[in-house]
Structure 1
Amino acid sequence: MLTIFRWLLRLTIALILLLLLGAVLTWYFSIRSLPDYDATYRMDGLSAPVEIVRSTENVPHIFGQSDKDMFFALGVAHAQDRLFQMTLLRRAAQGRLSEIQGPGAFASDDLARRLGLYRNARASLDVQDDDTRAALDAYAAGVNQWIAEVNENALGRGAPEFFLFPHQISYWQPTDSLAILKLIAASATNAVADEVLRARLSLVSPQYGPDLLDAAATSSEKPVYASLFPGARFATPAKTSPSSNGTVLSTFLKPGQGLGANGFAASPERTAAGGALLANDIITPLTAPSLFYLARLQLSSGGVIGATIPGIPAVLSGRNPHLAWGIAPTPVDDADIAIEEIQPGNPDRYRGRNGWTDFATQNEVIRILDGQPQAIILRETENGPVIPGLDPGLRDVTPMGHVPVLRWTGLSADDSTMSALIGLMRAPDTDSARNALRDVVAPAISVSLADSDGIRQIQAGRIPRRAANHPTAGRMPAPGWLEAANWQPPGDTDGDLIDKTGGILIATEEQQPDSLRQGRLTRLIQDREVHSRDSFIATQLDIISPAARALLPLVGANLWFNGDPAAPGTIERQRQDALSLLAEWDGSMSEHLPEPLIYAAWMKRLQDRLIRDDLGPIADDIRSLHPSFIDAVFRNRNGAARWCDIVQSAPQEDCTTIARQALDLAILDLSEDFGPQVTSWRWGDLHQAVHTHPGLGSLAGLGWIVNLTQSISGGDFTMAQSGLLGGQKHPYGARTGAGFRGVYDLADPDSSVFITSTGQSGHPLSRHYDDLAGLWRRGEYIGMSLDPDLARAAALGITELRPRDD
């Protein structure tokens, strides 16, 4: 027995030693990939020495003698800090994530191949101007020189994540940058999702279903979707899943998901310091690291500083010595679904506008980690590529014997958007910026501009032109064979919205002219005669919910005062306490208050009770609040109060009854999680921002290391926007937010400020992985100066790049 005990003890000690050795080796190889910011590197491709001065927050300030060397050094800086993120973005655009992530990424790869993101990017390389081609070449050379440095000096494969994904890192190509821009363009629009949902609602409830999205429209503006395909049969509408199309994935840029932004500006006569002001925040999925990377380049045209995206050699939002700019997706419908009929008995042909026509086909193979390669056939019609996986609801709205096809402005082989973005960086004034922006194709963007002469807003990008007799006006899928459903020849937008609102310009991604967030922004800006940098910051960080202010007086109109106080501990008393809090609430979605939590839970339950009996399982797919619908119901606009009656019950319910029942259900839900004391509840207990690591965040045991979780204020409709009702499991979690915020003050340009949601480094062991996250949560910023002396004064390191033969 003693011998067995001794051997067990020895084995235990040996196992502990092996685990310790493994931990030490893992730590050693991981920290090998932390870049040395005080090193000197000799590299091919440089014409002269370059310095990368890292500020206290690890923002690289790049100084050299030529623009080519500037873009080369930006490639080095991006690769030093974000090589794994760049690699995932590139693989997502190429449709090659399955090679490192396995079968779970297959659907995403399939979609990327069918959209032709990389093919169109490769074709678009030839239409870039000479300066952009040179910038793309130099940037790729810089990335590749860092990859070579990693390989030659065993620098931990460049990022610790690569030890878990042991494929060789391919060298960077100029096309890769264009492909990532295509991926962002595809992710910027949610036009298809809206079309598909509208059609699903029409199929389930032809007369009233579309009210959910178009509550203010008349019945004549809501075509019955099934009537577009007489005699066709549809599959039974079913509940979809967020992961049913396989795109809940590593990069968190999903085609069709929609991105957001706010941009606003004040002309010099509306500012306290006499110089134009401009603010911009870009709303994206929250990841660790952030999608954005702050950088400054000293170009021949002057210094430029702002937000870049690793993989793209352009400042998307920022300033140079004379001009500041911010971007927002233009609220236009830039994509349509065309439904093509397959020829009976011949699946290789479809019904074109001139008769039965052969699909254009192409065979490709998707390689899968730990799985068999999968061959796919890409099919395309005269209207675009066949894309059954673009939206999980497409199955419901595609008649049997038909296939869905995508029309999208980004399906272009002559996309010169990169040239426009790089030209914008060099623009000395708004006129030059306007000329540069003529090259934007996709995504369509509203660009707010400010210079010494004032402010300007340019709408840039290709906008579809639809015929007056289009069967759905682009609001639902339409038969692809109808000439009326075809797009007219595209026209470039060249819309100047110059100072149309008394020295103020405003841009958001919202499409409705009466949208709540845009209305809130307009009031905040117009209510002050004179603005300052601090007032613009306060506007960006505003957490008042216009939706709460609009809905609560309507929904609770007959509930606020209802008899004597109920007995403590009863649901009636909880309801009274909740209503008492809400009656005095100003709509502030503060993480420290109970009112936002009560309001959000109430509206979630209320909307569900209004729509579930009519829409059935589709109700589970309505993951966002639709205030205009609830407003129309409680105002009985166009008879919308009919939604308050539960059709499947014998009594006829009114809206007051439904509102009370929904509040009681919400209180029961919250009581189960937080106890019966209403005043002790806090919004931040459920409203938490989860910055998820691309690739590792969902892996057991690693997620808690690489993901960042913070309770935050705000909501869907606040200026400080954070996504809400995102799913059934975590309906109040913030999955989107301002990945970048910037405020530019041209009266004192070096007092301009910016922030990203995490940190500059993508290395989980770096102190710059999350050092900006706390500032971002608290609504703080860091400086945006082009003064080289300031950058050097607080530098945490200076990296020298020298020509190899120097």
Structure 2
Amino acid sequence: MAVDMVGGLGFRGWPRAARVATYVAAGLVVLLIGMLLTAVHLVRQPFPQTTGEIEVPGLTGRVEVVRDDAGIPQVYADSVDDLMRAQGYVHAQERFFEMDVRRHATAGRLAEMFGSAALESDEYVRTMGWRRVAEQELALVSPETRAALTAYADGVNAYLDTHTPSEIAVEYTVLNAGGLGYEPEPWTPVDSLAWLKAMAWDLRGNMTDEIDRVLALAGHSAREVAQLYPPYDYDAHRPIVGQGAVVDGVFEQDATAPGTRNPRRPAYTADMRGALARLRAGLQDLPPLLGHGDGLGSNSWVVSGDHTDTGGPLLANDPHLGVSVPGVWMQMGLHCREVTEDCPLDVAGFTFSGVPGVIIGHNRDIAWGFTNLGPDVSDLYLEKVEGSRWRYDGRWRPLRTRTETIKVHGGDDVTLTIRSTAHGPLLSDVADDVAEAGEDPPGVPPGEYAVALQWTALQPSTTADAVLGIDAATDWDEFRAAAASFAVPAQNLVYADREGHIGYQAPGLVPIRKSGNDGLLPAAGWKPENDWTGDYVPFDGLPSVLDPDDGFVVTANQAVTGPDYPYFLTDDWDRGYRAQRIRDLIQRQLDGDGTVSAGDMLAMQLDDLNPMAAELVPYLLDVDLPHGYYSAGQWQLRHWDFHQGADSAGAAYFNAVWRNLLALTFHDDLPADIWPAGGDRWYAVVTELLHDPESAWWDDKLTPDLDETRDDILRQALLDARDELTRRQALDSDHWTWGHLHRLDLHHPSLGESGIGPVEWLVNRDGWEVGGGSSTVDATAWDAADGYDVVSAPSMRMVVSPADWDASRWINLTGVSGHPFDQHYTDQTDLYVDGRTLPWPFTQDAVSDAAADVLTLEPAPAAD
């Protein structure tokens, strides 16, 4: 006779209420299990197929996708068309939602997916016309590039055609559960080109500095503001190509050479400053696609085989970009099974999902790395606007206008009227219509001011040609020929090849300005002498060097050339701390062991010496503090080696002091929008102020009865930092750690700040404690105006060995996958935080030996 049992007790003998409760509990368990299984299914459903066979329309031959233990795909095919089609398919497998959000961002269509919260971003992007420029570029690129873009798009669409939104990404499941009802559109070549505009925007140079200088002028003299932007110290921090680049071609005319400009600036009225402040706030709220802020930059260097243990060059690169999950890069290899003139690709490295080709990496002959050159390629113009006209050269001229409609999920469509002068679109229209002037500059009739943007990225160019050209280059001459097409963003390119050559090339469009405009402040748009000439620094005039006498080249966003260089690039360089530290480390290694190894290069990338500590700590130790509680922090500084490991108590205290020092010194003097972020420029500023203990900057304007000096501020910063670390960490200073303050949180760019706990839990990954800091070689930057969390970091690290490609190493900030809970979503992050790297197999034998999964893409049968 059957007996129902629950926990060993006879069920039928229970009271009825207990039986009912048990039924309900059992039902809830079944429901929860069902919900869990459903959730697991929904999360796992988009994971890519990595083994077996898939038919892909348009392929002309069999393609193999070989993935290693980290999920990194190496693609093998017999034609460029098949390689590009397969790359598009694999990118879509791993990262289509990221690609889709990127194309909506670059087209000014985020509001279609995310509602009115994204409207302002769309308005700025539409006003600048990123996609309109990309559409023009499609007609300019070479037929080969256009064919690659088309094949790539066909590969993406082959994936979309056979997958529903919930099978493509769990993010679509989340959005559609909220009522979006979204179906991805087919991918187009223009979608790929438009992403290059986002890349250029986040690396655009000194546009924000132009505004900040004007905002700082409120209540301060030009001399005082100049103290906040100290000149580059060429003696302490060597430029990339030394004190005088070798250039060929037509030299810039004397009227625009460095030191000859005599700009006459407008009187910046309160209304002008208001318009610029609103514009700055709006631009700051644009979603960073690569990242923004003082921490953006990169390290890259190359050492000749005369100085390495391999006898061949070694090349290192680690671009510093915003932190997110998935990370900016996806590792991949693209290999023609037989390299021929018709199929020249045998390349591997770091790719952008949504863009065909490899952006940074190496092929069978050459290796290359990028850092941001940072030239001044954008200018803001204050325009005199009256109705539908703008003032220029003593005459009123008609504004150019166009209208666009922005669709808004959950809201009404928005019609945007876009106005432009000859300089460019009026960004201030988005910020707050047109700012009315309260006081006019001399000789200008009453009216309204607007702010226009002139920027090289708004000129159609052929940067996409450069990407695929570099991928196929076999020597220095072919590399330079390809680089000549790289228009925006202007980059520092370092180079190495199998023949033993190393080099440096600066590509990009850099405008030549007339004598009235030095690019440091917004210019008066009504004066012709402030215009660009219409010419750009010729490619043969851009800095370049092959096989330098030093035997190595270091680029870390420092000045590229000395002050005698005949063209104006910018005055807003990174201050050179990272670059000089790398040079010192290389030279120290050569002086010691005589050679540099790949392991040495990897260790240099992790160097965490704080460049400000040696300057500031002696002043901090001279301050007299009460013995015991408050002097405990000074004890940590006294025993600190100035390195910023995650477990360092000295680094924790020093950075807390630094943040409080900046707040005490500058927050009373400057608008909140331009409070110090604390990076390299502020190191230079405070270094100078330390030698001027009575400077007005030290005085706290909020205490008018007191005249604070340097020592007063230093003392208060020490006290405040001690109290802060007690609250945040521990009473015992031995228990302080830098990593506890300095955390790496990886948030999903679109859903990671949704405010919905389960969604954020699904897509975000938080909590890594890291070392490094702003302007260290291990550049895990933080913003002192906001806190200690990492805001930008090395987005990847690589060391490449042309003597043996398979001896190269690489690591990504996150992982290959864009799918939450896929094993490759953040599987490289722990290695990255620990300072470790992965092997980088390149030759076919090495790739086969490392293979974990092989997927075969087969041509689909022709339709009847």
Would you call these one fold, judging by a TM-score over 0.5? yes
Tell whether the 8 Å contact from 1:558 to 1:656 is kept in structure 2 after alignment. no
2:374 to 309, 327, 331: 331
Tell whether the 8 Å contact from 2:275 to 2:428 is kept in structure 1 after alignment. no
C-alpha separation between the residues in 2 aligned to 1:51 and 1:409?
40
Does residue 1:282 correspond to 2:319, yes or no? Answer: yes
Q: Which residue pairs with 1:164 in the alignment?
A: 174
Tell whether the 8 Å contact from 1:34 to 1:763 is kept in structure 2 after alignment. yes
Q: Which residue pairs with 1:479 in the alignment?
A: 524
Tell whether the 8 Å contact from 1:244 to 1:392 is kept in structure 2 after alignment. no
Tell whether the 8 Å contact from 1:78 to 1:143 is kept in structure 2 after alignment. yes
C-alpha separation between the residues in 2 aligned to 1:101 and 1:281?
32
1:506 to 536, 546, 554: 554
Does residue 1:668 correspond to 2:760, yes or no? Answer: no
Question: Which residue type is aligned with residue 266 of structure 2?
Answer: L
Identity between Structure 1 and Structure 2 (%): 27
Secondary structure, in 3 states, of the residue corresponding to 1:342?
A: strand
* CA positional deviation for 1:101: 0.9
Residues 549-698 of structure 1 correspond to what in structure 2 (within 5 A)? 549-553=614-618, 555-556=619-620, 558-559=622-623, 562=624, 566=626, 572-615=627-670, 617-618=672-673, 620=675, 622=677, 624=679, 626-636=682-692, 641-647=695-701, 648-698=703-753
* CA positional deviation for 1:421: 1.1
1:403 to 443, 450, 461: 450
C-alpha separation between the residues in 1 aligned to 2:416 and 2:848?
54
Residues 53-202 of structure 1 correspond to what in structure 2 (within 5 A)? 53-151=66-164, 156-166=166-176, 167-202=182-217
C-alpha separation between the residues in 2 aligned to 1:397 and 1:717?
40
* CA positional deviation for 1:552: 2.1
Summarize deviations over 1:137-190 as a string: whole Å, max 9, x none: 111111110111214xxx833111111233111111011100011111111124
Paired positions, count: 780
Secondary structure, in 3 states, of the residue corresponding to 1:410?
A: helix
* CA positional deviation for 1:624: 4.9
CA distance change for structure 1 residues 207 and 352 in 2, over 3 Å: closer, same or farther? closer
C-alpha separation between the residues in 1 aligned to 2:223 and 2:437?
17
Tell whether the 8 Å contact from 1:240 to 1:393 is kept in structure 2 after alignment. no
* CA positional deviation for 1:392: 11
Secondary structure, in 3 states, of the residue corresponding to 2:629?
A: helix
Secondary structure, in 3 states, of the residue corresponding to 2:781?
A: coil
Higher mean C-alpha deviation, range 119-128 or range 24-33: 24-33
Secondary structure, in 3 states, of the residue corresponding to 1:168?
A: coil
Tell whether the 8 Å contact from 2:131 to 2:194 is kept in structure 1 after alignment. yes
C-alpha separation between the residues in 1 aligned to 2:17 and 2:49?
50
Tell whether the 8 Å contact from 1:759 to 1:769 is kept in structure 2 after alignment. yes
Secondary structure, in 3 states, of the residue corresponding to 1:150?
A: coil
* CA positional deviation for 1:38: 0.6
Secondary structure, in 3 states, of the residue corresponding to 2:482?
A: helix
* CA positional deviation for 1:755: 0.8
Higher mean C-alpha deviation, range 331-340 or range 7-16: 7-16
Tell whether the 8 Å contact from 1:326 to 1:448 is kept in structure 2 after alignment. yes
C-alpha separation between the residues in 1 aligned to 2:849 and 2:474?
28
* CA positional deviation for 1:401: 1.8
The normalised TM-score by structure 2 is: 0.85
CA distance change for structure 1 residues 99 and 397 in 2, over 3 Å: closer, same or farther? farther
Q: Which residue pairs with 2:478 in the alignment?
A: 432
Q: Which residue pairs with 2:537 in the alignment?
A: 491
Q: Which residue pairs with 2:770 in the alignment?
A: 712
Q: Which residue pairs with 1:803 in the alignment?
A: 859
Q: Which residue pairs with 2:803 in the alignment?
A: 747
Does residue 1:463 correspond to 2:497, yes or no? Answer: no
Does residue 1:228 correspond to 2:258, yes or no? Answer: no
C-alpha separation between the residues in 1 aligned to 2:779 and 2:330?
20
* CA positional deviation for 1:239: 8.5
C-alpha separation between the residues in 1 aligned to 2:729 and 2:432?
35
C-alpha separation between the residues in 1 aligned to 2:781 and 2:770?
11
* CA positional deviation for 1:23: 3.3
Secondary structure, in 3 states, of the residue corresponding to 1:573?
A: coil
Q: Which residue pairs with 2:603 in the alignment?
A: 538
Residues 406-417 of structure 1 correspond to what in structure 2 (within 5 A)? 406-413=453-460, 415-417=461-463
Tell whether the 8 Å contact from 2:291 to 2:323 is kept in structure 1 after alignment. no
Secondary structure, in 3 states, of the residue corresponding to 2:814?
A: coil
C-alpha separation between the residues in 2 aligned to 1:394 and 1:777?
47
* CA positional deviation for 1:666: 1.4
CA distance change for structure 1 residues 240 and 779 in 2, over 3 Å: closer, same or farther? farther
Tell whether the 8 Å contact from 1:352 to 1:480 is kept in structure 2 after alignment. yes
Q: Which residue pairs with 1:569 in the alignment?
A: none
Summarize deviations over 1:468-502 as a string: whole Å, max 9, x none: 332xx101111111112111222333321334451
Does residue 1:340 correspond to 2:383, yes or no? Answer: yes
* CA positional deviation for 1:405: 0.8
Secondary structure, in 3 states, of the residue corresponding to 1:735?
A: strand
Question: Which residue type is aligned with residue 707 of structure 1?
Answer: N
Higher mean C-alpha deviation, range 237-246 or range 22-31: 237-246
Secondary structure, in 3 states, of the residue corresponding to 1:614?
A: coil
Question: Which residue type is aligned with residue 205 of structure 1?
Answer: H
1:453 to 496, 500, 521: 500
Question: Which residue type is aligned with residue 536 of structure 1?
Answer: M
Question: Which residue type is aligned with residue 448 of structure 1?
Answer: V
C-alpha separation between the residues in 2 aligned to 1:449 and 1:508?
15
CA distance change for structure 1 residues 331 and 656 in 2, over 3 Å: closer, same or farther? same
C-alpha separation between the residues in 1 aligned to 2:110 and 2:294?
19
* CA positional deviation for 1:706: 2.1
C-alpha separation between the residues in 1 aligned to 2:690 and 2:157?
60
C-alpha separation between the residues in 1 aligned to 2:16 and 2:282?
56
Tell whether the 8 Å contact from 2:351 to 2:358 is kept in structure 1 after alignment. yes
* CA positional deviation for 1:741: 1.1
**Mind listing any 5+ residue stretches in structure 2 that lack a counterpart?**
1-14, 177-181, 234-257, 337-342, 440-446, 559-571
Tell whether the 8 Å contact from 1:289 to 1:762 is kept in structure 2 after alignment. yes
CA distance change for structure 1 residues 24 and 404 in 2, over 3 Å: closer, same or farther? same
Tell whether the 8 Å contact from 2:86 to 2:155 is kept in structure 1 after alignment. yes
Tell whether the 8 Å contact from 1:86 to 1:311 is kept in structure 2 after alignment. yes
Summarize deviations over 1:70-99 as a string: whole Å, max 9, x none: 111111110000011111111110111111
C-alpha separation between the residues in 2 aligned to 1:751 and 1:390?
51
Question: Which residue type is aligned with residue 349 of structure 1?
Answer: R
* CA positional deviation for 1:622: 4.9
C-alpha separation between the residues in 2 aligned to 1:393 and 1:16?
57
Q: Which residue pairs with 2:410 in the alignment?
A: 370
Question: Which residue type is aligned with residue 165 of structure 1?
Answer: L
* CA positional deviation for 1:632: 0.8
C-alpha separation between the residues in 1 aligned to 2:50 and 2:109?
32
C-alpha separation between the residues in 2 aligned to 1:228 and 1:646?
30
Secondary structure, in 3 states, of the residue corresponding to 2:58?
A: coil
Tell whether the 8 Å contact from 2:52 to 2:854 is kept in structure 1 after alignment. yes
Tell whether the 8 Å contact from 2:215 to 2:277 is kept in structure 1 after alignment. no
Higher mean C-alpha deviation, range 643-652 or range 126-135: 643-652
Q: Which residue pairs with 2:307 in the alignment?
A: 270
Tell whether the 8 Å contact from 1:420 to 1:437 is kept in structure 2 after alignment. yes
Summarize deviations over 1:367-398 as a string: whole Å, max 9, x none: 11111111111111100111138999998999
Tell whether the 8 Å contact from 2:169 to 2:819 is kept in structure 1 after alignment. yes
CA distance change for structure 1 residues 398 and 499 in 2, over 3 Å: closer, same or farther? farther
Tell whether the 8 Å contact from 1:190 to 1:257 is kept in structure 2 after alignment. no
C-alpha separation between the residues in 2 aligned to 1:4 and 1:205?
79
* CA positional deviation for 1:207: 3.8
CA distance change for structure 1 residues 418 and 245 in 2, over 3 Å: closer, same or farther? closer
Question: Which residue type is aligned with residue 475 of structure 2?
Answer: D
2:425 to 385, 393, 412: 385
CA distance change for structure 1 residues 11 and 367 in 2, over 3 Å: closer, same or farther? farther
